[in-house]
Chain A
Amino acid sequence: MDEIVKMIGLKNNCTFCGVFRRQALDRGAALLKVDKVATGHNADDIAETVLLNILRGDIARLSRCTSIITGEDGPIPRCKPFKYTYEKEIVMYAYFKKLDYFSTECIYSPNAYRGFAREFIKDLERIRPRAILDIIKSGEDFRISTTTKMPEQGTCERCGYISSQKWCKACVLLEGLNRGLPKLGIGRTQGLNSDGKKDRKRDSRTPSIESKQCGSLEF
């Protein structure tokens, strides 16, 4: 990751890390031939993701991010058993049970957009702790307007993995890094910047570094 950051700078780090980590998880799961993958996303994470997707107008992700099970129609479904558990509860449990855990924070996270959503949510939690669960509930009950164009699922031309564009995000990012084009796959597109840490990296765009004109975003 340090080498990637040397190439791309301190912005959009989450995009690369999240997409590649997710790919590694998926590939590893496929190699082990598992039935399901469970991740440790907690209530705070889901609430942050809902807010983040609203702030960035990422409608495709907004509709998916509160599902407790995703990828059911794919080879390996994923689930988030701790979806309704507050991070605070988890930390208290770990403390009283004297569980050993990593608490190091990613060194690039101060520059992450998610940090703003996190700060806001923590302030909200202090005033009204139910806010976190209520944000998740709102996210679950969002319905996307039928006139909104949504991406369709297909397969990546390069690696055959599931994708909503011609090339999956991982392939686009990798191509960009190998060709010395750090901005490939980053920029104003239909899917917008992906904070890929929790999100599926499925939508991307065909390799091109043209940027769209203001006001011409299509959804």
Chain B
Amino acid sequence: MALRHFFKHLTILTSSYGFCTLSSRFIHPSLTTLFNNINPKTQPLIPTKFSLPLSHCYTSVSHPSTSTLLSPYLSVRIRCPKDIADVFSEALMCFGATSTTVDEDDNCDTSNEICIESIFPESEDVDVCISQAADSVGLKMIPSYEVKTGEHYDWIKKTQESFDPVEVTEGLWIVPEWKTPPDVKATNIILNPGLAFGTGEHPTTRLCLLLLQRLIKGGERFLDYGTGSGILAIAALKFGASFSVGIDIDPLAITSAHHNAALNDIGLENFQLRLVSSNTSSPSTDEHKDIQKQTSFEAVAESEHETYDVIVANILLNPLLELADDIVSHAMPGAGIGLSGILSEQVPCIIDRCSPLLDNISVSEIDDWACLSGTKKLTGN
């Protein structure tokens, strides 16, 4: 297939996009070694036409990904004539902007000009980029603009402000840390999601919470595979599980989950969090040496196959397909397993993958999202 030819010539193009891909669970394992820890500033110059074997890890950076996550960015406000705003923003994207935003103004009749707000990585030369973009669009003169250094604090704060208490189902509320629960007698889960996934508003989180309510009768051991903010692990304990473990490949998620457990007065005796590496799905202690703040977490070698009564994995289609065997291996025979984070159209694919592993497969849907639940087969692996 000719597309294999593309893969052989894959050079690192992330340098031209000016941002770092973090060790994301969504990247195919063989690519994580390539894109992990690549900081555009310390990257050596790549000669063109250099074809790279995929297993070669290119650079290694000593500090963890959080520092590049929060490196400052440049925010540029450009004024330009309204009729070419669209084309101009596309041109800006081609020449190095990482995003452009065009405000819809209510009083747009008064002036002919419109503001484009564009975000550039810190290392980018804004003047050159804007003049090139203006050139390609056909503007006679370079539009006026002003450059500010944006602080990440601002937008993080703004997104957090938009969280409200949300009622997932009767008697179950998810409340942000800084708001008071509307119904004090209901089961309230207090959350500060930080930069991890799981605020309770997303349909997949709801589907998983409803599934948990059905599966957890009391005293079960629960594994949250891909825990994000820890919401499912905490909910399981509130529903009556005896022991909850959350695992994730993102250190930020583990930090958030730890924080949320403390907010809900959950101690370490029945709640544990583990950071696992993204290449394999079992934790390994050597990977943790590079990550600084992990001393408080237990990096226990995972020898706990077949010990959980309920497992829920709310991630994405591709990781679910790859990790299906591993997820099911942690469950006791007959245990309840839930898989979510998939669109309704992706359900047949997951069913194909999991039917040799699970019995009693049923699918529940909210909006476009689906959750697959089943029980581990009693015989076999």
State whether these chains interact. no
Mark B residues whose CB is within 8 Å of A. none
Mark A residues whose CB is within 8 Å of B. none
